[in-house]
Amino acid sequence: MRNSFSLEGHKALVTGANTGLGQAVAIGLAAAGAEVVCAARRAPDETLARIVEAGGTASALALDFADPMAASGVFAGAGFDVLVNNAGIIRRADAVDFSEEDWDAVMDVNLKALFFTTQAFARERLAKGAPGKVINIASLLSFQGGIRVPSYTAAKHGVVGITKLLANEWAAWGINVNAIAPGYIETSNTEALRADADRSRAIIERIPAGRWGRPEDIAGAAVFLASAAAGYIHGAVLNVDGGWLAR
């Protein structure tokens, strides 16, 4: 019987794969059978080691998405059929004090680079008449406003819009474009929140599942969206948030 969740024979590029969500997604895709290329600004040595130790196949690619066109030459002839756009940064300040520099830095990495990386991926797949899977990492702040993160909130709202637009344009050609919206996950980005006992308790009380998410919770969703099991899913945003948005 064919396993529709298997990624055997597929090749995936995961951006921001050195830590956190990107690392977990890369490990999850490799465990499902994909060859995974881990793209990051810093060497993803730990990610590679964990994949190889588990018997998977992975390699590294240095990409810094401070240049939104950094991946424009990556896909030609490389055989990628899965792309996970995870790389992202955040800048915090009150909206009244937020700088143009911080606005541009976040928008370049979190939205502009995502679009042009996906464009380069799709151009290669369309030229070959071949299917592909794109998974964008959105956020709870794709739906909510948050505080003190104006460019991050704007970019993550944009990720959902771009996901839907690209799905509309490419679905008929066999390219699935979807997104995952993680909730509060145990990563370095949330370390300060988790260290604040009052804030952490307030967050957990709002989450119906009663716990912080783990990076591997996102990995499972990514494996599903990258697999044949999700072949008729286009333009969807899968909330992996322990029920936060349903509260």
Q: Which residues contact 192 (CB under 8 A, 6 or more apart)?
A: none
**Residue 192 confidence (pLDDT) above 90:** no
Tell me the per-residue pLDDT of 84-133, one tens digit each, with 9 for 90 and over: 999 999 999 999 999 999 999 999 999 999 999 999 999 999 999 999 99
* 1 band by pLDDT with thresholds 50, 70 and 90: low
Domains, the chain, with CATH or none: 11-237 (3.40.50.720)
Mean pLDDT of the chain, nearest integer: 96
Cα–Cα dist 44/59, whole Å: 9
E strand or H helix that includes residue 83: strand 82-85
The catalytic residue positions are 152
61 by Cβ neighbours in 10 Å (0-12 / 13-18 / 19+) ranks as: middle
Given CA atoms 228, 233, 237, 242 in this order, what sign does their dihedral have? Answer: negative
Residues near 34 by beta carbon (within 8 Å), at least 6 away in sequence? 7, 8, 10, 11, 12, 82, 226
Tens of pLDDT, residues 214-239: 999 999 999 999 999 999 999 999 99
